[in-house]
Structure 1
């Protein structure tokens, strides 16, 4: 039997797996699906993967349905605005031209909803194109967009097919909302809801959405054997200073030091100061009544003589005797008393 690994070994392994996925290592996860919503969008993940892909000198292709521009070194395929008349077949043809002459490519689609549900591209056809050229694919699916009803109701939706095809699934969460959920759990309170889940009229996005400090990622990696690995990571914003000076012809140099980490390693998440704030908030529970007694109420409570005190004051063997004084409304039954 293999020796069980320690927590530190598990964290190092998880960070290594996540680092390879973010650096577009096709052998780790050739098809990564990113799920986001209005509470936390996937822009920070896409920015990180573009920078890491360019630092490795691979061909980066960006299929844009929502963003008007990208890094100058990226092969940009616009599909919005005046370019929105392009059909799904035309978009696939442009992707093939952009990756056809390169040995290794990173293809990023910022909205699978537009590509599959609006343009009508079948996820299987898109996957066959990417596999044909041995490329690494990253696509974003917005969870707060209603999935259209298809003519064949028994057929799976494109989102379900994409989840089945993906070798890794990243779910984005806001750090501020994750900390709020942890504080509620520590106080044994219901987990708070944000945005559309609040059910409040007119609220579609919380003020704690899209935390600029970084993004929390619930990651699921699927092995070849079918056994999944789950871990939650913290990915901060990417800066130019995170990379070495670029070599000739490259926009980014090698990565200096890995900055993605397991969420449990984030000081803000597990520090003593954070836990102290959580425990301090436990005394501020808002209830419609007062839990404390006034001095007068305490004196009245102390002056109440309970029946079991008299029973304990009797002689030995009478400690369990019940003391009861009959009132006018009591009906005395002599026969029952004799029994």
Structure 2
């Protein structure tokens, strides 16, 4: 649910211009709508950045790309080592963007290791995952999370690309036609819907919807049905009681600013550890070993 104390358009703009800290951007697409325009939009908003394109299924080098690499899924460690050589040094102020056109080809057991090996502070990884492509699971990894679940967990920002509802009024009929490989007209339109999910440092996720025009690079925030219902519920107590049950804008803003323990896993250097930051207002006795916050 989107928060009224945040400006969704400003947040999207900060993400695209790499001003909002995010190490791994996951782009989800379907047969009806491709996510190729998202990587191009990152390059358009960062003209001075080095763009490395890792191709799993793309044949020709896109025009906005600085370096074009063909991926070898049989040796992911060698691919990561080769990719790192194209990245600017850490002392270099230039930003770098790594575009992965299809993460479906990366084996499940090497997925997290491959992404964490190339993600760093000056580098943003923008990877695309095709939802409609079936995954071949190894029997040895039966109890291991699927590739999509794993990617959604480690991603700090998710772009879910979907076709606009007015283009295809009957969603069930569209899904049925795509399942039979009967491709309707009007798919992969330059104007489509983006469901943006961004995780803050506290681990709290913010979700917004946008109408995006890839030809013009223009995006417009659209309110979801859940947000409209929430706005109606906030006013349902008006005139029913002698006291106020609604929350003020100041109270909502204070609620949004609550910081939970920072998820160290977002820095890609530990496995999901939660770090507690000790403050001076905490009641702590040094002589009591059971109250050691560290």
The verdict on a shared fold, with TM-score over 0.5 as the criterion, is yes
Residue aligning to 2:270: none
SS of equivalent to 2:118: helix
SS of equivalent to 2:11: helix
2:215 paired with 1:261: no
Residue aligning to 1:61: 52
Distance 1:201 1:215 in 2: 21
The one of 66, 71, 74 aligned to 2:63: 71
Distance 2:56 2:112 in 1: 17
Residue aligning to 2:9: 15
Residue aligning to 2:24: 31
The one of 210, 225, 235 aligned to 2:188: 210
The one of 89, 98, 101 aligned to 1:110: 101
Residues 87-121 of structure 1 show CA distances to partners (whole Å, capped at 9, x for unaligned) of 2122111210011435421111011111345xx63
Residue aligning to 2:143: 154
Distance 1:228 1:180 in 2: 29
In the alignment, structure 1 segments of 5+ residues that lack a partner are 185-190, 243-258, 266-339
Distance 2:145 2:182 in 1: 28
Counting only pairs closer than 5 Å after superposition, residues 315-326 of structure 1 correspond to structure 2 as none
Q: Contact 2:80/2:117 (CA < 8 Å) preserved in 1?
A: no
RMSD: 2.7
Residues 171-218 of structure 1 show CA distances to partners (whole Å, capped at 9, x for unaligned) of 11112xx1257xx6xxxxxx53254x3167743433231113x22101
Residue aligning to 2:204: 227
Distance 2:172 2:184 in 1: 9
TM-score (norm. length: structure 1): 0.57
Residue aligning to 2:36: 43
The 1:206/1:22 distance shift into structure 2, 3 A limit, reads: farther
Distance 2:157 2:41 in 1: 17
- Structure with higher strand content: 2
Distance 2:155 2:179 in 1: 35
Residue aligning to 1:193: 172
The 1:58/1:194 distance shift into structure 2, 3 A limit, reads: farther
Q: Contact 2:160/2:194 (CA < 8 Å) preserved in 1?
A: yes
The 1:46/1:21 distance shift into structure 2, 3 A limit, reads: same
Residue aligning to 1:90: 78
In the alignment, structure 2 segments of 5+ residues that lack a partner are 225-294
Count of aligned pairs between the two proteins: 217
Residue aligning to 2:124: 136
- Structure with higher helix content: 1
SS of equivalent to 2:97: strand
Distance 1:85 1:110 in 2: 13
Counting only pairs closer than 5 Å after superposition, residues 162-181 of structure 1 correspond to structure 2 as 162-175=151-164, 178-179=165-166
Residues 256-314 of structure 1 show CA distances to partners (whole Å, capped at 9, x for unaligned) of xxx3220359xxxxxxxxxxxxxxxxxxxxxxxxxxxxxxxxxxxxxxxxxxxxxxxxx
Distance 1:229 1:41 in 2: 23
Larger radius of gyration: 1
